[in-house]
Amino acid sequence: MFDLERWQEIFDTIRKNKLRTFLTGLSVASGIFILVILLGFGQGMRNGIENEFKQDASTSVWVWPGVTSKEYKGLNPGRRIQLVNDNFDMANAMFKSDIEYGSPRIFVRGVNVNYGKEALVYGVQGVGADFQFIENAGMIEGRFINYSDEASTAKVAIIGNKIKKDVFEKVDSPIGEFINISGIPFKVIGVFKEMEDREEERIYIPITTAQKAFNGGNRLNNMSFTLPPVENFDQAVAQAVNFKNGMRTYLQQAHIVAPEDTGAIEVWSAMEEAKRYYGLTNNIKIFFWFVGVCTIIAGVVGVSNIMMIVVKERTREIGIRKALGAKPWSIVGMILHEAIFVTAISGFGGLIFSMALLELVGPHVEVDYIMNPSVNFNVAFSTVIVLILAGTLAGFVPAWRAAKVKVIESLRDE
């Protein structure tokens, strides 16, 4: 391999057989190119789908009550379950180490909301300070509800960006403005942004205020939590399932619900949902791999085909070389050396070109469910190596056969 003389011999051959070299190289380079692009888009799809799930914190778990459907411990079915503050506090205490953030929520109903003379038809929800993190609400102005707002039942409100645009277009900033909720003035202290408009049509007030001012007592409509992030996805799913089951069991016991009566206490985890999509993207990935591997195989077949033709074309030359004293191994070495060299150069050429394309174009791809297509360099690199090895192997057989051919036969006039 480090025989300078042979390198010179090979460069000679390449220089004088430009078209042949070019065509071999092209087929290898295009094979690699297509594979990398395919893998890149497979990854892009994965990224895109992951992004769709970023709207709510991906580890969030939502709990809401329903109606019992089974008779249990002397209680009739058809009973409506009502969550209360105690449930939330108890859950927090019980699963303390499993919970990252938690917030109860109450939907404030039967209230009129006004800004000056204007009536606002937006939903009002009482939530805790942590709710910001559960909803992944981005604050674009002011701040979210904090713990001291909760403790002091402050009359403050956080509005969605859409409300700001619809209602507060006349003022510079809605911060410091007052809105009336059933006659009680609430000071706007923050504006949040969400992925979807629908979620921006909400007014959040502290849960304590909502319960006190609007006759909520200690009732809750639902509870939501996020779980601390863990390293890998499977762990996260296991953690979510575990938490979900624990939460359901606790609430079923607290509200005297049959363990198998899942409709009475609903627990939903984003993680499990995401798992289905991850499964889907995995399948997509497998599909792209499959197509990619087929491309590689086609590339290998192409390379071996070319190698066969090259060897066939060089049969006479090989005969001459042998008559002049070339040993069989030197013939095999020469052909393989050239093949490896050409495959490697063009393979890495295709790799660099396709990766550059992904780097340049990737970040600008804006199609639903495709985001920043990219490819793992190691994967791409190994594919090139595989192609080179396969090409070598494919070239070896005809080269070996050519080296074994009797000189008289290869020199025979056609």
Residues in contact with other proteins by CB under 8 A are: 5, 8-9, 12-13, 16-17, 316-317, 319-330, 404, 406-408, 411, 413
| Burial class, 117, CB count within 10 angstroms (exposed 0-12 / middle 13-18 / buried 19+) | exposed
- Give least dist CB 368 to other proteins, A: 55
Taking the least distance from each CB to other proteins, the nearer of 13 and 55 is: 13
Contacts 24+ apart (CB under 8 A), 116-122: 118/167, 120/163, 120/167, 120/179, 120/203, 122/159, 122/160, 122/163, 122/201, 122/202, 122/203
Q: Which is nearer to other proteins, 169 or 414 (CB)?
A: 414
Q: Shortest approach of other proteins to residue 22 CB, angstroms?
A: 15
DSSP state for residue 196 in the 8-state scheme: S
Q: How far is the CB of 406 from other proteins (least distance, A)?
A: 7
Look-up: residue for tokens 């050409």?
342
Whole-angstrom Cα distance, residue 383 to residue 352?
Answer: 13
Q: Which lies closer to other proteins via its Cβ, residue 390 or residue 403?
A: 403
Contact 118, 168 (CB under 8 A): no
Compare residues 22 and 147 and give the one whose CB is closer to other proteins. Answer: 22
Smallest gap from residue 363 Cβ to other proteins (A)? 47
- If the CB atoms of residues 260 and 414 are measured against other proteins, the closer one turns out to be 414
- The least distance separating other proteins from the CB of residue 323, rounded to whole angstroms, comes to 5
Minimum CB distance to other proteins, residue 305 (Å)? 21
- Pairing of β 156-160 and β 184-193: parallel
Nearer to other proteins, 4 or 93 (CB): 4
List of long-range contacts for 272-278, beta carbons under 8 Å, 24+ apart: 272/237, 272/240, 272/241, 272/244, 273/53, 274/53, 274/58, 275/233, 275/237, 277/49, 277/52, 277/53, 278/49, 278/233
Nearer to other proteins among residue 54 and residue 401 (C-beta): 401
Shortest reach from residue 320's CB to other proteins, in Å: 5
